[in-house]
Amino acid sequence: METKTGIDFTPGAFEDHDEPLQFFLAEMGRVPLLTREGEIRLAKLIEEGKRKLASVVFSMPLTLQRLAVLKTQLQKDEIRLRDLVCIQDVPDGEDADEEVVEQDTEELRQHTLQELTAIQRSFRTLMTVSATRRSTRLSRAARDKADKQHRTVCTRIIEKVESINFTPKLKDQLLNRLKNVGKELLEAEWAIEGCCTRIRGTTKDLREMVRNAAAFKKIRRRTGYSAETLDTIKAVFFDAQQRVRKIERETAMIPAHELKAALDTLECAETDVNRSKSDMVDANLRLVVSIAKRYRNRGLAFPDLIQEGSIGLMRAVEKFEYQRGYKFSTYATWWIRQGITRAIADQGRTVRIPVHMIETINKLRSTTQELVRKGLREPSAEDIGIKMGMPPTKVREILGIAQHPISMEMPIGDDEDRHFGDLIQDKDAVSPLETAVQFDVQRQVASALKTLTPREEAVLRKRFGIGEPSDHTLEEIGQDFSVTRERIRQIEAKALQKLL
């Protein structure tokens, strides 16, 4: 069975791969394809979730205070503009007027500073309005007016943030900063809750215990704890309270319940964004497999090609702009191909080849195939060089680089019990025939020497290096036996005569 994308999902279609891959392909085949309307719906959900995230993050005093610091650093040239905002780089191979680029960058810098200044003014207004909203003496009409002002100021800040186009890295840093403060608040509240559990009371009981001795004694009688234990609980509670107050007054600059509500909104928005992204990716995995099939046998296993293509697909989901009117699959194809081709260039070979050399190799292969189609069965380096306009030596060098190294440990056969290195001849190794001949010679020499006297055998062994590291001179042997050189020569001659 083949789908509209031309991918066969029937059993056995991918027999050369492992079971996890077959399971992945089977599960992928169960996900329905998206229509154009479905793509737009998911893209809008992602956009809406991101906007909700931004509205929460950039309405927090903690974030706005950080932006004020970044503005000062940018004014003093302590940070680069590209650390704050996305700057479009000039594509490789295109000429660019440096003066024009510098002028555009300076204009962007001034625009960023102006918008950050406007955000700083709105921040001060926001703090004033927020303080008014928290007042317990406000009438209903005044509170509604303050809420409306708060929403208006937050909307104005979000508009300025969108006009600046902060980098994804900076947005993630600001989001994580807010999450970390929220984590500190939760840890402090858990510590307070733990103290309440230990005294079997409430936060109010803990405050009373800290303030007066009578409440301290009452809780001591009720729990049976020693004074030292209750002092420890008091210290933990006091420390946790101080941390909560510090977060409210200095770090987050908003009440704890408002910070927790903001974090809950963040969590819901992130869940919605991630779910929509996942749905978009799952519905387009067929496209990844379809493109990955064209790049098989290029140095990466098929599952790895799918993995790299899926990473490219996720980038496409992140950057897709449905307002431009084109289909998502058309846009995603480029990202998927880029992810796969870059992975092949970086990981497809044991020795990495630069991307520009990969392009040259591909061009050389195309030229070779073209020459073969024209009738040259095996084009020479000279033929290829003439066609490509490069010296034959350069062509041979590229052909040498294009060869794939083969691992000596590569399994051979269906059982994979042998390796490729087992089939390669070791020219330095002694053949079994030579080993057998040498063993037979050693046996016969030893048998012949046994017919001599022990002294004659020892002299011959030393003289010819039989069983010795090296042969010896008559003088050296004579010294070993404490006789003259001439006497050793006579013993040697007599022993050789016997062997003959």
Is residue 157 a contact partner of residue 58, using CB atoms and an 8 Å limit? yes
Higher-confidence residue: 136 or 400? Answer: 400
327 and 386 inside one domain: no
Whether residue 249 lies inside any domain: the answer is no
Banded pLDDT at 366 (limits 50, 70, 90): confident
Tokens coding 130: 């927020």
Banded pLDDT at 18 (limits 50, 70, 90): low
Separation of alpha carbons 352 and 343, rounded Å: 11
pLDDT of residue 316: 93
Mean pLDDT of 192-200: 90
Query: Taking 50 as the threshold, does the pLDDT of residue 305 lie above it?
Result: yes
Whether residue 448 lies inside any domain: the answer is yes
DSSP class of residue 294? G
483 and 461 inside one domain: yes
Query: Taking 90 as the threshold, does the pLDDT of residue 42 lie above it?
Result: yes
Domain count of the fold of the chain: 3
Please report the DSSP string for 77-121 in residue order: TSS-GGGTB--PPPPTT----HHHHHHHHHHHHHHHHHHHHHHHH
Mean pLDDT of 442-452: 85
**Whole domain around residue 383: which residue ranges?**
361-402
- The owner of tokens 């098929």 is 302
pTM above 0.75, yes or no: no
pLDDT of residue 99: 64
349 and 285 inside one domain: yes
Tokens coding 103: 């002028």
Question: Domain holding 487: CATH number?
Answer: 1.10.10.10
Whether residue 291 lies inside any domain: the answer is yes
Question: Domain holding 344: CATH number?
Answer: 1.20.120.1810
